[in-house]
Chains A and B, each alone.
Chain A
Amino acid sequence: MLNRAYVSDKAARYLLWASAAAVTLTIVAILIFVGKEGLLTFADVNPFAFFFSPEWDPPQGHFGALPFFVGSITATLIALLLGGPLGLACAIFMAKVSPGWMRSVMRQASNLFVGIPSVVYGYIGMTVLVPWSRETFGGQGVGVLVAGMILAVMILPTITTVAEDAIRDVPGPLEEGALGLGATRWQTIWGVLLPAARPRILAGVILAFARAFGETTAVQMVIGNAPRLVPGLTSGTSTLTSQIIMEMGQTPPGSPWNRALFMMAFGLVVNSMLMILLVRWVSNRGVAK
């Protein structure tokens, strides 16, 4: 019997399936469009020069993107170095040490950190941290140090949330066993909880890496935007994202310069895909032995 309920049931099934397929279609389209535009760079530019030459001077035909790869990686590593331990400490604190009221305060704080737009982070970096760094370390003030500091604050909620859940989800008997054997709370955390939660904490750190690597506006506002290999912690340099946002507007579509910027964008996509696969691999390696 073909009644209305049956027909709308069929229609809904197809529509919902189409929505799911649309998500896949979108990511495939992004890979194809950005990838095609980017790979066309190599019609005019030597791939080896693109990845390994430090000289970026597009009007003169030099398309060495090495400084931007190095800039992105350096700023991100500084962010992890500063934000990682602090985020993990906050996670341990919230999961095992903090009283309940303090935990809800910390949760709200974490939501607020997420809610602050990246351009506002960049603005604070520009008006507070850059002058501070100039006075403290001399030089220009802008550069990978301030960029790393701002990124560290931005990735804090990611690391804290993921690590707190991971620590909280460690089976109770493991913890009780350690405490029952006379271990102190810190010995239990360090010797039992953290090793058991390690795969998921690592996954959180990788997610944070991906987020910091792709951050654009906040970094662009404090990095100095000088297309050269990182000269020091507090001298101007540039990253993949900041260079794209600075120069995309002044390059005609289809020019080698424009395509080189798309190739850098494609590098960002490839990096985030690798990070996802890494997260999957890390989380599948199981819990503590």
Chain B
Amino acid sequence: MSRARVFDRLATLLLWAAGLGTLVILAAFLIRILGQGLPYITWDFLTTRSQAMKAGGGVGSQLFNTFYLTGLSLLFSLPIGVGAGVYMAEYAKPGRFTDLVRLSVEALASVPSIVLGLFGMILFVNTMGWGFTIIGGALTLSLLNLPTLVRVTEETMRSVPAIYREGSLALGATRWQTVSKAVLPSALPGILTGVTLVAGRAIGETAILIYTAGVTASRHMGDLNLFNAGETLAVRIWYVKSEGLVPDADAIAAGTSALLLIVVLVFNLALALPLYLWQKKRMGR
């Protein structure tokens, strides 16, 4: 066998090792997180409120806040994010303004989340004087969602064939009728995928929320008050491991990590599965 062939075999071997090695790393992470945490996830853990000093507290309020904050942040960021994406795909003409918006989207996407958190803190906690609130946290969190929503919407709208628009316009529809009735519905699955992506990140976000939504949660379960502090699951893990005083911090962190991972996975599946089936049905027609 020539030297080149030996190298080729060797490289193939190493590339397989890299691929398999990555899978092993992932498996080790998952086994560790679930193996350590699952035993702590009991009905009580999921439904009782947390303790500040004593052992045995649950994460019921934090579980609720995680969904509440993520939902609210989507409520704020979806109209603007999709709106801006539609504008970039359907209306924007090449020029200064379009370049500026595109640069802004890239810039916003690259701003570290801790900086977004500090910005939210200046704006909502200090300037508005709200203190640590769910609404302040959700508004700041929506800044994290925004650039991804714009980018995904623009990309999916662009991938809709031009003939959809031409057909609609030829029938005398206005631009907005064309966009809203012919293009947007075809782009919906892609936009929904973007929403899953964004929500998954929002569910696990910590740095943005610590100084906007705070590290305490309401003592009442399912408290909808927007001006309460709203600690989430992810923030809870950070708090008990770095500053908290509860004696069972390790148990809480392990249980909450496993719970958070399950929430992210279930959430991805819950949105990805119907989408997959729907697309399959459309393709079948």
Is B164 part of the contact surface with A, judged by Cβ < 8 Å? no
- Bitwise, A253-264 to B at CB < 8 A (1) or not (0) is 100000000100
Cβ-defined contact, A23 with B18, below 8 A: no
**Main secondary structure on B side of the interface with A:** helix
Expressed in whole angstroms, the Cα–Cα distance for A15 and B180 within the complex equals: 13
Contacts of A221 in B (CB 8 A): 238, 241-242
Size bin of chain A's contact surface = 35 or more
Expressed in whole angstroms, the Cα–Cα distance for A214 and B131 within the complex equals: 25
Known: A20-B88, A23-B80. A123 touches B14 (CB 8 A): no
Closest CB of chain B to A72's CB: distance in Å? 10
Cβ-defined contact, B114 with A241, below 8 A: yes
Cβ-defined contact, A186 with B11, below 8 A: yes
Residue from A17, A183, A268 within 8 A of B114 (CB atoms): A268
Contacts of B147 in A (CB 8 A): 23
**Main secondary structure on A side of the interface with B:** helix
Expressed in whole angstroms, the Cα–Cα distance for A262 and B211 within the complex equals: 13
Is A136 part of the contact surface with B, judged by Cβ < 8 Å? no
Contacts of A276 in B (CB 8 A): 103, 106-107, 110
Closest CB of chain B to A185's CB: distance in Å? 6
Is A26 part of the contact surface with B, judged by Cβ < 8 Å? yes
Contacts of B7 in A (CB 8 A): 184, 186-187
Residue from B26, B206, B253 within 8 A of A113 (CB atoms): B26
Cβ-defined contact, A273 with B107, below 8 A: yes
Cβ-defined contact, A22 with B80, below 8 A: yes
Given contacts A26-B104, A124-B29, A187-B4, could you give 13 more A-B pairs where the C-beta distance is less than 8 Å? A12-B180, A17-B91, A23-B146, A24-B101, A93-B16, A112-B26, A116-B204, A120-B234, A186-B11, A265-B114, A268-B114, A269-B111, A269-B115
The residue among A117, A118, A126, A207 with the most chain B CB atoms within 10 A of its own CB is: A117
Residue from B16, B18, B33, B118 within 8 A of A124 (CB atoms): B33
The residue among B19, B105, B147, B241 with the most chain A CB atoms within 10 A of its own CB is: B19
Is B86 part of the contact surface with A, judged by Cβ < 8 Å? yes
Cβ-defined contact, A27 with B22, below 8 A: no
Cβ-defined contact, A215 with B261, below 8 A: no
- Bitwise, A15-32 to B at CB < 8 A (1) or not (0) is 111111111101111100
Contacts of B86 in A (CB 8 A): 16, 19
Known: A117-B260, A241-B114. A92 touches B108 (CB 8 A): no
Known: A34-B119, A118-B204. A19 touches B84 (CB 8 A): yes
Expressed in whole angstroms, the Cα–Cα distance for A217 and B107 within the complex equals: 21
Cβ-defined contact, A19 with B83, below 8 A: yes
Contacts of B16 in A (CB 8 A): 93, 97-98
Closest CB of chain A to B19's CB: distance in Å? 4
Cβ-defined contact, B15 with A120, below 8 A: no
Segment with Cβ contacts to B, from A61-69, A168-176, A242-250: A242-250
Expressed in whole angstroms, the Cα–Cα distance for A186 and B11 within the complex equals: 7
Contacts of B104 in A (CB 8 A): 23-24, 26-28
22 CB-based A-B contacts, threshold 8 Å: A8-B174, A13-B175, A22-B80, A23-B146, A24-B101, A34-B115, A34-B119, A93-B16, A111-B268, A118-B206, A119-B206, A119-B257, A122-B238, A123-B253, A184-B5, A189-B11, A190-B11, A210-B110, A221-B242, A245-B210, A248-B211, A276-B106
Cβ-defined contact, A24 with B15, below 8 A: no
Expressed in whole angstroms, the Cα–Cα distance for A241 and B97 within the complex equals: 33
Closest CB of chain B to A242's CB: distance in Å? 9
